Homo-oligomer: A and B are copies of this chain.
Amino acid sequence: MPKRVDHEERRAHLTAALLRIASTRGLQAVSMREVAAEAGVSLRVVQYYFTDKRTLLDSGLIELAARLDRRVKQRASAAGSGLSVRAVFDIVLGAILPGDEQSRLDALAWTAYYAVALTDPSLGADGVHFPNALEDWLTARLTVAQQDGAAPAAGDPRTEVAALLALANGLTASVLGRQRTGEEAAGILRHALDRVLADPRGRVGPG
């Protein structure tokens, strides 16, 4: 074997370059050559570690999903354990909103992928699966909370969750369009949560 390079790390490097381009200049500006230039390597290297452009783009979408997952878990661990339903919703939905510059860039790239996936379902076919799973999970949480009396039974849990998720997505869009800051969006989201789930920022149980 020759130079022995870490493929995993190489691909991560190139994927990061791809997302940098996608979030600043758009997905239509992403070409093999541009990714190579952004990463400071030759075109051949990009070809070598991602045989297809398709493979390259897929990698970008996977990385975006991983980053969102990381952000949720990071926020959750920062909040501790034994969280109330309200806190869980706050964490999960708040993780969707772009809070800092990096998550804003990621949301931009995500939006670009989303737009092309709407008319080219082959790319990011599970881009539909993921939101559905999240909706199911949150709905189950809210249902249990309502049955336990920990949350006001304001209405159909699935409808409430769907509305909250749609709100979070809409707020994200407005932040990306610089109509609102991330803080303003977070405030609006919390305000909406106050309506559906009282008990702001509390913990479950007697505490």
A residues contacting B by CB (< 8 A) are: 23-29, 108, 111-112, 114-116, 118-120, 127-128, 131-132, 135, 155, 159, 162-163, 165-171, 173-174, 176-180, 184-185, 187-188, 191-192, 195
A120 contacts across to B, CB distance below 8 A: 25-26
**Chief secondary structure at chain A's binding surface:** helix
Nearest CB on B from A185, distance (A): 8
Chain B residues whose CB sits within 8 angstroms of the CB of A188 once the complex forms: 159, 162-163, 166
Besides the contacts A128-B178, A166-B170, A170-B173, what 7 more A-B pairs have beta carbons closer than 8 Å? A24-B119, A25-B119, A29-B119, A114-B173, A132-B179, A165-B170, A165-B174
Complex: how many Å from CA A4 to CA B112?
42
Residue of B nearest to A132 (CB): B179
Residue of B nearest to A156 (CB): B191
**Complex-state Cα separation, A185 to B165, whole angstroms:** 12
Q: Is the CB of A118 within 8 A of B176?
A: yes
User: Among B25, B116, B179, which residue has its beta carbon within 8 angstroms of that of A128?
Assistant: B179
Contact indicator A131/B165 (Cβ below 8 Å): no
Q: How far is the CB of A131 from chain B (nearest CB, A)?
A: 6
- Could you tell me if A177 and B28 are in contact, using CB atoms closer than 8 angstroms? no
Which of A120, A128, A167, A170: most chain B Cβ within 10 A?
A: A170
Which of B162, B167, B177 interacts with A180 by CB under 8 Å? B162
Determine the distance from Cα of A112 to Cα of B170 in the docked complex, in whole angstroms: 16
Q: Are B167 and A26 in contact (CB under 8 A)?
A: no
Q: 7 smallest A-B Cβ distances: which pairs?
A: A166-B170, A170-B170, A115-B115, A26-B119, A169-B170, A166-B171, A167-B167
Contacts of A127 on B, CB cut-off 8 Å?
177
